[in-house]
Structures are given as C-alpha cells and as structure tokens.
Amino acid sequence: MRTLGFLLRKEFKQIFRNKSLLPMIFVAPIIQLLILPLAADYEVKDINISIVDHDHSTYSQQLISKVTASGYFQLADYGNSFKRALKLIESDKSDLILEIPQGFEKNLIRENKEKLFVAVNAINGVKAGLGGAYLAQIISTYNNDIRMRWLQQPKFNPMPQIEVTSSNWFNPHLNYRFFMVPGILAVLVTMVGAYMCGLNIVKEKEVGTIEQINVTPIKKYQFILAKLVPFWIIGIFIFSVGLFLVARWVYGIVPVGSLLLLYSYMSLYMVAVLGLGLLISTFSDTQQQAMSITFFFIIIFMLMSGLFTSIDSMPHWAYIIAKCNPVTYFIEVVRMIVLKGSSFSDIKYHFLVMVGFAIFLNGFAIMNYRKTS
C-alpha cells in the first residue's frame, strides 16, 4: 500500500510536469465540447432552391412565398428556364428545382388537378432526402389550403382520415445538441482512458525506465494500479468539467436522472477503457505503435457507437460489431440518464455488460503483461 502511494505520487508529478499532456487533458476536452456539438448538426437548413415558374399566376406566387417563408429554403434563382436552373445545380449553387408548369392555376381550378416537377441534387443524400421531403410537405399543405377554399365541406367526411399529431419526448424542441453533448462527453472520457494510460505505460518501455522498475520488488499489480488510478481520476475530472461547466452553462443540459448512478456507471466504464489502454500497451513497444493501434480502435469505436448514426438502423453485422463496442453502452447510458432520467433497473443490463468488458480487458491485459521477457 505504501509503495502504491509512492508510485502514485510519482505518476502525478510526471503528469503535471508534462507540458504537452496537461493542455491536452484540461483544455482540449472543453474546446471539443464547445465545437463539436455546434458543428455536428443534423438539421438541414438553408437548402438552395431554384424555382422555374412558367405560370406567373397568383397561385404560383402564393406557392413560392410559402416555400421561401418556411425557413428551410433559400431562393437561389427564380426564372422560367429549366435548363438554366439545371446549370445552377451542376455548379452546386442550387440543390433543388421546383418547376411550375404553364397553366398551373387554370388547370388546378378547372380540372382540380395539376402536376409539379421537383428535381433534387442527390449527391448529398441527407440534404436531398430531407429537402425533397420538406418541399413535398409544403406543397401538400398548400394543396389542402386550396381545397379548403374551393370545396364545400361535406357534412360527413366521405373518407375516413387518420390525422397524426406527434409530441417529442425527452427533447421536446428536437434540439440536436441535447443528443450530441452527452455522446461527445462519453467520447472524451474514452479518449483519456484508452490513449493516455496506454501511452504512459509504453513511454516507460520506450525510455527504458521500465527496466529499472522491473528489477525492484515493485509488484505487477502495484505498477499497473499506479498507472490506472491517475487516469481514472483525470477521466472523472474531465467528465465533471464537461457535465457541470460546459453542458450546463453553455448548452443548458441538466441531467434529469441520478448523478450517483451516472458517476457509478462512468467509474465502471473508465475501468474497462483503461483496461483497453493497458492491453494495447502490452502489445506495443513504442509510443508510435501504441498510438497507431489505439487510433484504429478509437475510429471504429467512435463511428460504430451510435454517436452519429443510430445503431438500430445499421445492417445486422454492423449492429453486432456495435454491440461488442463498450463505447456504445456508455453513450447509451449517458443519454438515458442525462436526458431521460433512467433509473438503475433500466440500465441493469448495461451495468452487467460493462462489468464483463472490464473483467475481460483488464484480465487479458494483466495476463499479457510480463515483467520478464
């Protein structure tokens, strides 16, 4: 125990003397939390639309003003040549073309029927899909308006209609940041655990100090614990800064659920991730090697964790990979507790899985760690 205390004191001294590591630990997470959630925004706004109007009627004017007033669309061009509008799409100045045919108003009134043409630039799939959907929605609302005005409402609705009203739970304003901030918090903690702990151990190998340590009576568990504990504490510290400083004061996110539950899960998760770092360090001899291996895992873990894309919509094989990823569970739990206020019984299963990860990763790492070669 006394030895462990001395080792820990040494580790902290070294961490606080490392001029390049310190800003990485304390400043980088805050900057990342400030930048990422604002930048990674899924809401599609400012779609450039070109309108080709062959009709120039009151109705076409009304439709155009509905489209531009929706807030989603930016009128890039208004004219009467489809060719010209297509040129704009080709030069990427416009994303959508809405073509209003000649006699739009006339046909609509006389024949109760008219067709509009919408062309979408589908290079950016999300933008195209959402843009098309928004536009279709605006047109159909407009269509309903006209119907109301022209048709006499029958006493009984001739056709049964289902009207859907939706209400958004846990994030009523569909604020994308509410979704992103807890996820990014989880990612930051993962980085500290997997990178810094592993690199620290490998550094001792690379510099050769581990040789000197290995011929001392320091026990394996003491050395490993002295490496894990500081980063475990730093991880919790960063998480707290992110949660109480940035998430609360910048984004106004106040955890709905129990903080105790959140921190106990986070502590457990840190043990698992530190185990990963430890495991990587046993496989590498230089910091460069450790960095490359960790980078490989972190990229996969990030992209397959449900941080950006929902894992439920992944193909089955990818879903299985995501389920083998500890980050997935942590992001899920952070979102559940912070946004939904889930209780222990809701995340029992997550706890169990994380205990498994922690035992597996640390056990494997300790088995693989040798004082003698």
Partner 1 sequence: MADVVLNNIVKTYNKGEVKAVNNVSFEVNKGELFGLIGADGAGKTSIFRILTTLLLPNSGTASVNGFDVVKDYKAIRKNVGYMPGKFSLYQDLSVEENLNFFATVFNTTVTENYDLVKNIYVQLEPFKNRRSGKLSGGMKQKLALCCALIHRPTVLFLDEPTTGVDAVSRREFWEMLKGLKQQGITILVSTPYMDEATLCERIALIQNGSIMSIDTPDEIVKQFPENLFAVRADNMSRLLNMLRSNKQIKSCFSFGDFHHITFQDDNELSQNKLIQTLQEARFKDIELKHITPTIEDCFIKLMN
Binding site for partner 1 (CB under 8 A): 2-3, 6-7, 10, 13-14, 17-18, 207-218, 371-373
For residue 146, the surrounding DSSP H or E stretch is: helix 125-150
Number of CB atoms found within 10 A of residue 1's CB: 5
CB of 291 to partner 1, least distance (A): 20
DSSP symbol at 44? -
Q: What is the largest CA-CA distance in the chain?
A: 97
Pick 205 or 335: Cβ nearer partner 1: 205
Pick 67 or 228: Cβ nearer partner 1: 228
Pick 7 or 119: Cβ nearer partner 1: 7
CB of 22 to partner 1, least distance (A): 12
For the chain, what is the radius of gyration of the CA atoms?
A: 29
CB of 3 to partner 1, least distance (A): 6
Pick 160 or 217: Cβ nearer partner 1: 217
Pick 218 or 291: Cβ nearer partner 1: 218
Composition of the chain by helix, strand, coil, percent to 5: 65, 5, 25
358 Cα distance to chain centroid = 24
CB of 295 to partner 1, least distance (A): 25
CB of 270 to partner 1, least distance (A): 25
Pick 67 or 226: Cβ nearer partner 1: 226
- Residue 139 sits at φ, ψ, to 5 deg, of -65, -40
Query: CA–CA separation, 290 vs 273, rounded Å?
Result: 15
CB of 1 to partner 1, least distance (A): 12
Cβ-proximal residues to 308 (8 Å cutoff; 6+ apart), any chain: 40
Question: Is residue 280 within 8 Å of residue 198, measured between CB atoms?
Answer: yes
HSE-up of residue 158 (Cα within 13 Å, Cβ side): 3
* Structure-block tokens of residue 129: 């899909």
Pick 200 or 281: Cβ nearer partner 1: 200
Pick 67 or 196: Cβ nearer partner 1: 196
- Residue 205 sits at φ, ψ, to 5 deg, of -70, -45
HSE-up of residue 292 (Cα within 13 Å, Cβ side): 6
CB of 195 to partner 1, least distance (A): 19
Please spell the DSSP secondary structure of 229-246, one letter per residue. Answer: HHHHHHHHHHHHIIIIII
CB of 18 to partner 1, least distance (A): 7
Angle (nearest 5°) at CA 334 between 184 and 21: 45
